[in-house]
Structure 1
Amino acid sequence: MATGYVGRFAPSPTGALHAGSVAAALASWLDARAHGGQWLVRIEDVDAARCVPGADRVILQQLAALGLHPDAAPLRQSTRGDAYQAALDRLIEAGLAYPCACSRSDILAALAERDALPRRHEELVYPGTCRSGLNGRPARAWRFRLPQDASVDWHDRRLGAQRQDVATRVGDFVLKRADGQWAYQIAVVVDDADQGVTDVVRGVDLADNTPRQLLLMRALGLPAPRWLHTPLVLGENGEKLSKQNGAQPVDTARPLDVLNAAAAALGLPAQAGTPPQAMAAWVGQWRDLYNLSAS
């Protein structure tokens, strides 16, 4: 199967890989191999305050120990500021980005006045305070100006048809933060386009980011990838396993055990033998699971 497929795994170096992030890595690797395509690793270190020194090196070592080798040198977002600024400049010139003076407490106060405070795990919906100007206040951040119709329809290869009204769920979202750091949304959109990513395979917890990214792609005239959002590995409390809730780094001394646990989270059966033999079997099963032709 000749293919121009390009996929990627994009960990944030806030710590070593845990069981949940290994499942995401394996899913993206399997999808790339099942399509006969290229698999990239991108270190999403744009949020410098959260990054742990040396974690990027540990992550790459863990991937190598599991047999998950990228097909090109990893890209680091911390080197990409000029590309993000160029994209923001284009949006500003087109009237699709504006400066914002609001702090989080300002937004919460405005939402409280409307009796519209978010519930747990819900987004803080921006009320549009600075859409028409700063009213003499200094700018803190830059926001994307949503179009009049901000309802986005998209298709996920596992979840099926999806829809979100970004205006009611999120509002005008941040592109560049008050601390000068680039927001995830603009960084990932610019990087995926520049790396030629055709397919985004990631955890289902990131699915609600997709409409914002699609709006940015349309505004910047960038092609949209296909999407596949995979099941999450859950902690004992039933919530997503993450570094924030105490997820422990995987021990790659027994790579097949780690890979079998990740495969189980993705709905694939355990394998015996060596890790390469196991992954070869999973590639075939992945093709069957998603109705892909063999390469």
Structure 2
Amino acid sequence: MVVTRFAPSPTGYLHIGGLRTALFSYLWAKKNGGEFVLRIEDTDKARNSQEATDAILKAFEWLGLKHDGEITYQSQRDEIYTKYIKQLLDEGKAYKCYMSKEELTELRETQMAAKERTKYNGKYRDFDGTPPEGVEPVIRIKAPLTGEILVKDGVKGNVSFQAEDILDDFVIARSDGAPTYNFVVAIDDYLMGINEVIRGDDHLSNTPKQIVVYEALGFPLPKFYHVPMIHNSKGKKLSKRDGATDVMAYKEMGYTPEALLNFLVRLGWSHGDQEIFSMEEMQDLFNPKDINKSASIYNTEKLDWLNSHYIKNTPNTQLAELLLNYDLVLTSHDKKEILLDALKERAKTLKELAILTNEILITPTSYDEKAIKKAFKGEATSILNAFGTKLTTCENCHLPSDYHHIMESVVSELEIGFGKIGQPLRVALLGKMGGPGLDDVMAILGKDETMLRIANIITKLN
């Protein structure tokens, strides 16, 4: 059974790159009938934030990525880590190092001056003398000092590391007893049954150290897949300006979970030329072996295009529920269907859809000056008056077609083009040029509100 995990540190928000690795891990586990587990790596007590933890869980809930079993918190597993530290000490695979901070600093400065790689020199590796007083030791693991460490990676292929180039006897427990990242990750992945690890390739350099821990403890290695980073359009690391922001900010901006997940799955993975994927299709088609070896490019236009697709294809009842998040109550609006049908083709985001909706539902209190100058020339006011008079005679004006017939009759009687009535009427109803079809707008507003808005602009211009 495939068991994957997502293991964020609650020291900040869940960003888009982390979410992508979580999605890949989720899809691979579900495709194989396996489990996707969530581990909060909260050993950094000074930087941990409960707010960050809550934000991570809230993002998973919003996106519908359900983890299996209980959440594991590393901060609650100190006894487990202490047990394995003792085991390695007892087996002679780790040792206490009494080198002071001052000694380490001096060693590094000497190595840098000689243009050597800075590393611990193994002073206490085989020490059997009397420990110096006043120094709380760290625990170092005995890492191989020569030879090759081979990472068999499902994305990058075999990646070889020379031990003497990247390893020294690295610390697995600090002087206060706190275990270090690479040590606890290896232990937790093994104990939680994680047999396939999908993560960003910024972790690739950590993998040899974790392999050292696995081998020292006699644990079998999981399969590794290191996913290339997401870059901006200039090929550089993604910044907040580019989209590397809190995942929940995407909800505030008006993106749907379906669009965001569809967007992310295509960042570094593809299936032919297909762009639109349901969650079922993602689970059926995704394979981490097909992840691209090069970095993917974040493209806001693609995200907007996907989001507009999902908005267009969302039932209006569901859209009305989603718009509640933007303080827009349409659930019981009698013209909800006409309104959303008219606008959802025009909106890239739910937030934009809410803005477009309010532009119709809220009576204008001001008017675009350029639009006024363009629309109200010649007989524009009298044409509006004629339309308003004709509208008063309509006893059953409910559908867009009802209003269209009245516009047609005014155009015919006055022998004018549709633009002569359309432009001033649009400014009267919306306060600006642009927007959906006037027939739809008037059907949404209703006869009384339409007449009120026409009267308002005539009063303003007189």
Normalised by the shorter chain, which TM-score bucket? Answer: 0.7 to 0.9
Question: Does the aligned pair in 1 maintain the 2:6–2:38 contact within 8 Å?
Answer: yes
Alignment correspondent of 2:96:
99
How many pairs align? 278
The answer to whether residue 151 in structure 2 is matched with residue 127 in structure 1 is no
Question: Does the aligned pair in 1 maintain the 2:88–2:217 contact within 8 Å?
Answer: yes
Alignment correspondent of 1:282:
282
Question: Does the aligned pair in 1 maintain the 2:143–2:167 contact within 8 Å?
Answer: no
Cα deviation digits, residues 217-276 of structure 1 (max 9, x gap): 111111111111112123688555589xx942122522234323422323337854xxxx
Measured after TM superposition, the shift of residue 76 of structure 1 is 0.5
Decide whether aligned partners of structure 1 residues 247 and 285 sit closer, same or farther in structure 2, where only a CA change above 3 A counts. same
1:37 aligned to which of 14, 34, 38: 34
Question: Does the aligned pair in 2 maintain the 1:44–1:76 contact within 8 Å?
Answer: yes
**2:9 alignment partner, SS class:** coil
- 1:127-166 aligned at under 5 Å gives the runs 127-133=121-127, 136=132, 138-147=135-144, 149=146, 151-166=148-163
The answer to whether residue 26 in structure 2 is matched with residue 24 in structure 1 is no
Measured after TM superposition, the shift of residue 32 of structure 1 is 1.2
**1:51 alignment partner, SS class:** coil
Alignment correspondent of 2:66:
69
Cα separation, 1, equivalents of 2:108 and 2:6: 36
Question: Does the aligned pair in 1 maintain the 2:145–2:163 contact within 8 Å?
Answer: no
- 1:233-252 aligned at under 5 Å gives the runs 233-234=230-231, 240-241=237-238, 247-250=244-247, 251-252=249-250
Decide whether aligned partners of structure 1 residues 139 and 31 sit closer, same or farther in structure 2, where only a CA change above 3 A counts. same
**1:49 alignment partner, SS class:** coil
Question: Does the aligned pair in 1 maintain the 2:149–2:163 contact within 8 Å?
Answer: yes
Question: Does the aligned pair in 2 maintain the 1:100–1:141 contact within 8 Å?
Answer: yes
Cα separation, 2, equivalents of 1:236 and 1:182: 39
Alignment correspondent of 1:121:
none
1:60 aligned to which of 57, 61, 79: 57
Cα separation, 2, equivalents of 1:106 and 1:127: 11
Question: Does the aligned pair in 2 maintain the 1:7–1:28 contact within 8 Å?
Answer: yes
Cα separation, 2, equivalents of 1:116 and 1:141: 26
The answer to whether residue 269 in structure 2 is matched with residue 267 in structure 1 is yes
Greater RCO (CA < 8 Å, at least 6 residues apart): 1
Decide whether aligned partners of structure 1 residues 265 and 290 sit closer, same or farther in structure 2, where only a CA change above 3 A counts. closer
**1:16 alignment partner, SS class:** coil
Decide whether aligned partners of structure 1 residues 22 and 166 sit closer, same or farther in structure 2, where only a CA change above 3 A counts. same
Measured after TM superposition, the shift of residue 31 of structure 1 is 1.7
Cα separation, 2, equivalents of 1:222 and 1:184: 17
Cα separation, 2, equivalents of 1:104 and 1:238: 39
Measured after TM superposition, the shift of residue 127 of structure 1 is 2.5
Measured after TM superposition, the shift of residue 102 of structure 1 is 3.5
Question: Does the aligned pair in 2 maintain the 1:23–1:266 contact within 8 Å?
Answer: no
Decide whether aligned partners of structure 1 residues 49 and 247 sit closer, same or farther in structure 2, where only a CA change above 3 A counts. farther
Cα deviation digits, residues 71-100 of structure 1 (max 9, x gap): 111100001101101110010001111122
1:216 aligned to which of 200, 209, 213: 213
Cα deviation digits, residues 195-238 of structure 1 (max 9, x gap): 11111111111112111111211111111111111121236885
Cα separation, 2, equivalents of 1:25 and 1:91: 32
Measured after TM superposition, the shift of residue 69 of structure 1 is 0.7
Alignment correspondent of 1:202:
199
2:183 aligned to which of 163, 181, 186: 186
Question: Does the aligned pair in 1 maintain the 2:155–2:289 contact within 8 Å?
Answer: no
**1:202 alignment partner, SS class:** strand
Question: Does the aligned pair in 1 maintain the 2:40–2:73 contact within 8 Å?
Answer: yes
Alignment correspondent of 2:77:
80
Cα deviation digits, residues 3-36 of structure 1 (max 9, x gap): x111111111112211111111111112212322
What's the Cα RMSD here?
Answer: 2.8
Cα deviation digits, residues 157-187 of structure 1 (max 9, x gap): 1100111123321311110123432101111
Decide whether aligned partners of structure 1 residues 103 and 267 sit closer, same or farther in structure 2, where only a CA change above 3 A counts. farther
Decide whether aligned partners of structure 1 residues 131 and 26 sit closer, same or farther in structure 2, where only a CA change above 3 A counts. same
Question: Does the aligned pair in 1 maintain the 2:81–2:184 contact within 8 Å?
Answer: yes
Measured after TM superposition, the shift of residue 289 of structure 1 is 5.3
Paired amino acid for 1:112: E
Give the structure with higher Rg (CA): 2
Higher mean C-alpha displacement, 83-92 vs 126-135: 126-135
**2:278 alignment partner, SS class:** helix
**2:12 alignment partner, SS class:** coil
Question: Does the aligned pair in 1 maintain the 2:154–2:288 contact within 8 Å?
Answer: no
**1:8 alignment partner, SS class:** strand
Higher mean C-alpha displacement, 172-181 vs 225-234: 172-181
